[in-house]
Amino acid sequence: MSDTVVECRDVTRIYGDEAVSVHALRGVDLTVVAGEFVSLSGPSGSGKSTLLNIIGGLDRPTSGSVAVGGVDLGSLSENALSDLRLYKMGFVFQAYNLIPVLSALENVEFIMQLQGVPPGERRDRARAMLSELGIGDLLNRRPGELSGGQQQRVAIARAIVTNPVLLLADEPSANLDSATTEALLKTLRHLNEGHGVTVITATHDPMVMAIARRQVKLRDGAIVEDSARPGIAAGGA
């Protein structure tokens, strides 16, 4: 049986107070196993980004439970949660969140530096990952000297160079042209199929949804559809 990477049980998230409250999530149940590529889709306000943030431990549910790699996030202190994110998860944000004063190579090295990886090893791993993503000739450029697509690849390299259990991507194709989006999606698919990285992405982009093996659709904070593409097993080609 496949290993469970993410398990959400009856997850609810309410923002605001008794006078004015917004139910961003309403009793969501979701299980994701190792090797899956899952797209969370739905209209604006459907709860997809909220769910992604809760799975990543960037937000906490009002009620219900979330476990990643068998660890209940609700049982962790903030420091322990930070460590789990650091060692087990990779994040690709819509805004890239690269450090402006660091080069592409240094940005990719940064997470490994926090992990205590020796300088020589982290530099070699960062170089190899950037080369694999097709930007090995841009190592010394800072984010402001890179195109949007190139910055996105640096962000992906930073997210996966540590071999995370789980890669979370929030609107990864936002603000990218179609050619750059196609290159990005090939990269994500390669990571999933070639490296076995479990991927969950929140998106409204049909191109992203098309390469995901499993599509989870949300509306008004609830899952209204959960379907896998026929004939394709989780983690398979």
Q: List phi, psi (to 5°) of 13.
A: -135, 120
CA angle 43, 67, 129 (to 5 degrees): 75
Cα–Cα distance for residue pair 139/155, rounded to 1 Å: 13
Of 65, 9, 2, 56, nearest to 228 by C-alpha is 2
Residue 207: helix, strand or coil by DSSP? helix
Beta strands 166-170 and 89-92, pairing class: parallel
- Label residue 205 exposed, middle or buried (CB < 10 Å: 0-12, 13-18, 19+): middle
- Calculated CA dihedral for residues 131, 118, 193, 97, nearest 10 degrees: -70
**Per-residue pLDDT tens listing for the chain (237 residues):** 459 999 999 999 999 877 788 899 999 999 999 999 999 999 988 999 999 999 999 999 999 999 999 999 999 999 999 999 999 999 988 778 899 999 999 999 999 999 999 999 999 999 998 998 889 999 999 999 998 888 988 998 898 898 888 999 998 887 677 877 787 788 888 888 888 889 999 998 898 899 999 999 999 999 999 987 654 444 433
CB 184 within 8 A of CB 153: yes
Which residues touch 179 (CB under 8 Å, ≥6 apart)?
A: none
Domains of the chain, first to last: 4-225 (3.40.50.300)
